[in-house]
Structure 1
Amino acid sequence: MGTATAMNLGRLLTQTARRIPGAPALVWGDRAWSFAELDARVDLLAQALRGLGVAKGDRVLVHSRNTNAMFESIFACFKIGAVWVPTNYRLTPAEVAWLGASSRAAVMLRDAGFAGHAAAVRDASPHLRNVIAVGDAGPGEQDYEALLAAAEPPPPDHEAEVAAGDPCWFFYTSGTTGRPKAAVLTHGQMAFVITNHLADLVPGTTERDASLVVAPLSHGAGIHQLGQVARGAVTVLLHGEKLDPEQAWALVARHRVTNMFTVPTILTALVRHPSVDRHDHASLRHVIYAGAPMYQADQAEALAKLGPCLVQYFGLGEVTGNITVLRPDQHTPENAGSCGMARTGMDIAILDERGARLPPGEIGEICVRGPAVFAGYFENEEANRKAFVGGWFHTGDLGLLDARGFLFITGRASDMYISGGSNVYPREAEEAILTHPAVAEVAVVGLPHPKWGEAGVACVVCRDGSMVEEAALLAHLAPMLARFKQPLRVVVWDALPKSGYGKVPKALIRAKLEELGIGF
C-alpha cells in the first residue's frame, strides 16, 4: 500500500480563493466577504491558533450561533490539522462543559453572550488553555478580531500535512446512553462525503449558485456548506439566531438562492408562512430536508408550494448524512414514505438479530458500510464494539428495503424522538426529572406535535406524600437541559404501566397516553 497523504480539507477554500478570488463567498446581514477575503481571514485565524499553541490533532471547541467567525473557524481548524468541535449553541453551560472536558479541547471559541458557557468549560476542563471571544471578551479571554489583526499572514501552502484517517471534526451525537459521544470524522472520509453530497444531492453546483443557511452550522448544514465552498457558491446566513421565514424568503429572492439544507420542521415553517407567496423563489433547484421523517401531508404541501425541488436524505452524524437520497424526480406516489435509495458508493443492508441479511420487505436494523462511515467514537471502545458488529455500522433504526432498493424507515430501535430536527433521547430528560425531590418514577416519550414534528411528554409518579405541579417540574428542568430536550407536557399518574419483567416499555406508556387522549 502507498503511504500518500490525503488532501487537507482546508484547501477546499484555498483552491476556490485562487480560482475566483473576487467572487462572493459569504454574506451575513449587510456584510459580505469575497473568497480572497474569507481565505485571508481564515489564514490569520490559523496563525493565531498556532500562536496559542494549537497543534495538529488538538481539539478546538466552538460554541456559536451561525456567524462569519464560526464559518471561518471550520477552515482554520482544518488548515492547521486541528479538530473542529462545534456545539449546539442552545445547550446549557453544564452540557457544553461536558463536551469541552470529554473532547479535552485546548482552545474554546465562543460567540458573544456566552461567557457563562466558557466559565463552565474552564471549570470542567484542565486541558483548556485559551478562550477566544467574539465581541465581548472578558478578563482572561482573547478578542477574536484583535487576534486576527495581530497575526502575521502565513506563507502559501501552509496547510498541515494530513493522512486520510486524521480527524478533522468531532460530531457530537447524543447516543442512546444519555451522555453525548464524539463521532470522529476524518479528512479522507469527509472528502468522500463532500464529493458525494455534490454528486447525489446538489448536482451541477458551481460559483453561479447561492446557498441559504437556515439550520445550525454545527451539524448537517455545516457539512452541506463545505461542498458549496468547494464549488465556489456563495453562502448566505440569516441575520438573527431565530428562524425568520419572511427574512429567509427575502434573501432567497435577493440572492437568487438555488439550494438550502433544512430539516422537516424548518421546511414546513417556511412553506406555511404567508411570506412564501410575497417573494420570488423560482431560483430554488435543491431544497434538502433531512434529519427526521417528514409527514406525507407536509411533503405534499411543500411540493405544491415550491415545485419539484425537494431532495430528501437519510443519514446520521456517524455516517455524515450519507446513507440515502430521494431526488426531486423520485418524489412520486410510488415512493411515498420512502427516504430513497443508497447513496453512490454506499451499501445498505437490513440485518436481523444474528446479523444476517433479510430479504426485501422484511423489517430489521438498518446497517450501512462504505467510505462515508466515521472512524468510530472518540475513546469509547464499548460503543465502537456495538456500533460495528459484523463489519457494518449499525444505525439503531429499524426499516425495510423494497425490491428496488428503496429504504423505508419503520421505527427506532431506541426510544429517541426528533423534535425540531434535533435528536432527543428521553433518558437525559428522565435523569434530570428524577433529581426533583418529589419524583419517584418517570418515563418520557415523544408524541407527534404540529410544530416540532415530535415533542416530549413526561409521565411522572410522585413519592408518597409528595405532589408536583407541571410548571414547577418544568422550571426545575430549565437550567439543566437545552430547551429542545425538555418535555412540553407533564402528566402525573399513580403508577407507570409495567411489563411482566417490571420494565416500563415506551409502547405501554404511549398506549396509555392514547387511551387517555393525551397529546398535542
Structure 2
Amino acid sequence: MTDPVGGQAPVSTRVMNLATFLAQAARRDPDGVALVMGDRQWTWAEFDARTDALAVALVQDYGLNKGDRVMCQSLNCPAMMQAMFAVWRAGGVWVPCNFRQTPAEVVYQTKAAGARIMLCHHSFPDHAAACVAECPDLAHVLSFGESAFAPSVEAATAARMGRRAPAAVVDRDDPCWFFFTSGTTGKPKASVLMHGQMAFVVTNHLADLMPGLTGADASLVVAPLSHGAGVHQLTQVARGVKTILMPSERFDVAKAWDLVREWRVSTMFTVPTILKLMTEDPSMATADTSSLRYVIYAGAPMYREDQKHALNRLGPVLVQYFGLGEVTGNITVLPTHLHDPEDRENARTGTCGFPRTGIEIQIQDNDGNEVAPLETGEICVIGPAVFAGYYQNPKANAESFRNGWFRTGDLGHVDDAGFLYITGRQSDMFISGGSNIYPREIEEKILTHPAITEVAVVGMPDSIWGEVGWAVCVARPGAPVTEADLAAYLDGRLSRYKMPKRFLFWDALPKSAYGKITKKLIREELDRLDTVGAP
C-alpha cells in the first residue's frame, strides 16, 4: 500500500456513520413526511427519534457491540427501515434476509453471518424458532409487531423514547451491511459492505441514477428492502425523499398505480419482471404517471421488446443500471436520454450503459488479459463501490478477484465508445458442436414473436452435439403458438447452429425471491420431469 502523506500512516480513515443521513434529513425537515404505509405516517423527526430509541435499546438492553451482526427476517414495514438505521447508529452490521426464504435458509445465513441478534417480523415464528434452536451465536430475538416468540421492537422503542444515541464512530472500512448473494449457483455468500463504500454508492446513485432529488420527491417501494430496494431507500433518505411502502405483502399493481397518483411518486426501483408486470396490467390504462421522473430497473437485463413496451407506456423516465450486490449496483448506467423505443441515432439498443462515475470496466479473457472492443469476455470492475470481500470465505475471495479486479462472472463486450453489452452469465453459456452459444441473443429473438411473453434458453445434453439449446416459453393468454411456429419464425432470423432443438411451453417460469428468472430452477424442473435428452 502506498504512503499518501509521506513517512506515516494515514492521518485519519474515519468516515460518516450511514445513520447520519437520517439525522440530517430530520434536522432539515423535521415535520415533513418521511415514511408512509397504509394509514400510518412518520415525520422525519419521529423517524429519527424512534431510531435513536431503538439504538439505545439495542446497546443497553441487548448488548449490541460495534461490529455485531444483526439478522433481519421481515416483510417491508416502517419498523424494518427504523431498525436498519438503528443498527448502524449503534455500530452494528445489518444482515437482512429475503422474507420469502425458508426457515432452513435463514438459519444458514444467520450462522454464516455469526449474528448475535435477530429481528423477525411477527408473521415468521417458525423462522425465529429455527434460528434460536440451531444458531449458537444468537443471543436475542426481537419481533416487529406483537408476537408470542419475542419482545417487540415497538416495546423496546417505547421504553427508550426520548433517549439520544450518538452515532457510533466508524472508519471507512468498517462493515455496515452483509449483502447476501442470491445463491443461484450455490450457497449464498455474505458480501461485506462498508460505511465508506456505501457513502460512495449513495453519492453515485444520486449523481448517475437520480440527479436533482429533493424533499419534494416521493419514492414507492415495490421490491424487498433486504437488497437493492434497501440501498435505493438509503439514497432517498439522504435527500429527504418520502418513502411510500406498499400496504400489504401481496403486490397489487392497481394499488401501486393508485399510490403513484396519490403521493405524486417520482422514483421507483424495480426489476425487469416487475416493471413488465406493472406496464402490462390493465390498471395501467387509467394510471396517472405524470409525476414519475426516474423508474430504475436493475437486477437482470431487460429484454428489448419489454423495454420498448415500458417506454411507450411511461415515457422517457427509464433508467437502467447493471451491478451486483458485491459492487452494490455500481457498474454501469443507461440514463433516461439514452432510452429510445424507436432506436433513433442517440439510442444504444441492447446496451446496459456506460461505466458509473468513478468505476472502471475491463473485459478480460480467461487469463486476465483485456480483450479488444466487441470481443466477448468476462466483465471485471474496479472502483470505490467494490466490496471488501466475502465474509470468512477465502476460497470465494480468491476466485472472485484477479490482479485487483473483481470478476463479476458475467460475459459481455464493450463497443468503441465504452458502452457495455451483456451476453449472459458464464454459467448460462453452453457449447454446441464446438461453438459457444449465448442464450440471451436467442431469447431476444424469440421475444419478438408477438405470442411470447417470457422465455429462457438453457443448454441441455445431446448425444451428437454435446449440448443443444432448449427454449422454455410462456405464451400470452389466448395466443395460439406451437413449436413448429417458433422454429419457422426464427428461420432466417437466427443462425442454424444457434437454433433451439426444442421449444417447450410452460404456464410460468420459476423466479427467484427478487423476481429474476432462475435458470438453475428451470434445469432442475427439466430433470425432475425426466425430459433431458428427449427427442
Asked whether the two chains share a fold, i.e. TM above 0.5, the reply is yes
Which structure 2 residues correspond to residues 103-142 of structure 1 after superposition, within 5 A? Answer: 103-139=113-149, 141-142=150-151
Corresponding residue of 1:81: 91
Corresponding residue of 2:421: 408
Q: Which residue identity is paired with 1:95?
A: E
What is the CA–CA distance in structure 1 between the aligned matches of 2:475 and 2:200, rounded to whole Å?
36
Question: Matched residue of 1:194: which SS?
Answer: helix
What is the CA–CA distance in structure 2 between the aligned matches of 1:372 and 1:379, rounded to whole Å?
20
Q: Which residue identity is paired with 1:341?
A: F
Q: From 26, 30, 39, give the equivalent of 1:17.
A: 26
What is the CA–CA distance in structure 2 between the aligned matches of 1:448 and 1:82, rounded to whole Å?
45
Residues 258 and 98 of structure 1: CA distance in aligned 2, closer, same or farther (over 3 Å): same
Residues 42 and 358 of structure 1: CA distance in aligned 2, closer, same or farther (over 3 Å): same
Unaligned stretches of 5+ in structure 2? 1-9, 430-438, 441-455, 459-468, 477-515
Corresponding residue of 2:499: none
Percent identity between matched residues is 52
Residues 493 and 116 of structure 1: CA distance in aligned 2, closer, same or farther (over 3 Å): closer
Residues 338 and 126 of structure 1: CA distance in aligned 2, closer, same or farther (over 3 Å): same
What is the CA–CA distance in structure 1 between the aligned matches of 2:404 and 2:473, rounded to whole Å?
35
Which structure 2 residues correspond to residues 413-428 of structure 1 after superposition, within 5 A? Answer: 413-415=426-428
Corresponding residue of 2:374: 361
What is the CA–CA distance in structure 2 between the aligned matches of 1:311 and 1:220, rounded to whole Å?
14
Q: Which residue identity is paired with 2:88?
A: F
* CA deviation string 1:120-168 (max 9, x = no partner): 11122111111111224224x1122111111253336x11000000000
What is the CA–CA distance in structure 2 between the aligned matches of 1:219 and 1:448, rounded to whole Å?
28
Q: Which residue identity is paired with 1:39?
A: D
1:411 Cα deviation from its structure 2 partner:
1.6
Which structure 2 residues correspond to residues 56-75 of structure 1 after superposition, within 5 A? Answer: 56-75=66-85
What is the CA–CA distance in structure 2 between the aligned matches of 1:337 and 1:483, rounded to whole Å?
19
What is the CA–CA distance in structure 2 between the aligned matches of 1:105 and 1:219, rounded to whole Å?
18
CA RMSD between the two structures: 2.5
Question: Matched residue of 2:243: which SS?
Answer: strand
Corresponding residue of 1:476: none
Which structure 2 residues correspond to residues 452-491 of structure 1 after superposition, within 5 A? Answer: 487=522, 489-490=525-526
TM-score, normalised to structure 1's length? 0.81
Corresponding residue of 1:29: 38
Which structure 2 residues correspond to residues 121-520 of structure 1 after superposition, within 5 A? Answer: 121-139=131-149, 141-155=150-164, 158-175=166-183, 178-332=186-340, 333=343, 334-415=347-428, 447=472, 449=474, 487=522, 489-490=525-526
Whether 1:44 aligns to 2:53 is yes
1:298 Cα deviation from its structure 2 partner:
0.8
Residues 412 and 14 of structure 1: CA distance in aligned 2, closer, same or farther (over 3 Å): same
Residues 305 and 216 of structure 1: CA distance in aligned 2, closer, same or farther (over 3 Å): same
Q: Which residue identity is paired with 1:224?
A: H
Question: Matched residue of 2:138: which SS?
Answer: coil
Question: Matched residue of 2:279: which SS?
Answer: helix
Corresponding residue of 1:98: 108
The answer to whether the 8 Å contact 1:212/1:252 transfers is yes
The answer to whether the 8 Å contact 1:176/1:414 transfers is no
Corresponding residue of 1:501: none
Q: Which residue identity is paired with 1:384?
A: N
Corresponding residue of 1:461: none
Question: Matched residue of 2:171: which SS?
Answer: coil
The answer to whether the 8 Å contact 2:49/2:161 transfers is no
1:175 Cα deviation from its structure 2 partner:
4.6
Residues 146 and 363 of structure 1: CA distance in aligned 2, closer, same or farther (over 3 Å): same
Unaligned stretches of 5+ in structure 1? 419-423, 427-443, 452-481, 498-511
TM-score, normalised to structure 2's length? 0.79
Question: Matched residue of 1:142: which SS?
Answer: coil
What is the CA–CA distance in structure 1 between the aligned matches of 2:186 and 2:471, rounded to whole Å?
16
What is the CA–CA distance in structure 1 between the aligned matches of 2:526 and 2:76, rounded to whole Å?
33
Question: Matched residue of 2:274: which SS?
Answer: helix
1:414 Cα deviation from its structure 2 partner:
2.0
The answer to whether the 8 Å contact 2:52/2:164 transfers is no
What is the CA–CA distance in structure 2 between the aligned matches of 1:279 and 1:496, rounded to whole Å?
44
The answer to whether the 8 Å contact 1:98/1:124 transfers is no
The answer to whether the 8 Å contact 2:172/2:197 transfers is yes
What is the CA–CA distance in structure 2 between the aligned matches of 1:415 and 1:119, rounded to whole Å?
37
